[in-house]
Amino acid sequence: MHVIATTVVWLVEIFPTIRGLATRGISKNMNIKLGPIIAERTLTALHSDGSQTTARVMLGKPQIMQGSEFGDFITPYMISVSGVEKTHFMAGIDAFQSLQLALKTLAVELRDIERKLNVKLDWEGGKDGDLGFN
């Protein structure tokens, strides 16, 4: 079984805004539930042996982060591919920022999944490998 690693720690190092949120009580070990799904995309995972499986990406509704004294928001999302299902989140100072960061992070995570699982992800609405999360 492959493990999909969370990118919260990596993004804390890259984006100063996230770094600021990390000191505001956001923990990479938070137990995040997906909650109401506001968008879902089905992808095809093309394996090196020629077989195909379905991959799903689900985006949860932005929500106020539990326990935040500043009213920070998180946007949870779930990626399900090759039997692995993992819920992640991105945080922002408001709902828009957390949503934007979640969508940008999805693009990075899906490319990482392709590399780790040795699959090629495809979306019927994309051209030349575009999964629509750029």
Residue 68 pLDDT = 77
Residue 128 pLDDT = 80
Stated pTM of the model:
0.73
User: Is residue 102 exposed (0-12), middle (13-18) or buried (19+ Cβ within 10 Å)?
Assistant: buried
In a 13 Å sphere around the CA of 3, the CA atoms on its Cβ side amount to 3
Q: Which two tokens stand for residue 9?
A: 């720690």
Residue-wise pLDDT for 70-102, tens only, equals: 889 999 999 998 888 889 999 999 999 999 999
Residue 79 and residue 4 in contact, taking contact as beta carbons nearer than 8 Å:
yes
- What is the tally of helices (H) and strands (E) in the chain? 3, 6
Structural domain spans, the chain: 8-122
Residue 70 and residue 97 in contact, taking contact as beta carbons nearer than 8 Å:
no
Residue-wise pLDDT for 22-57, tens only, equals: 444 445 556 778 889 999 999 999 998 999 999 999
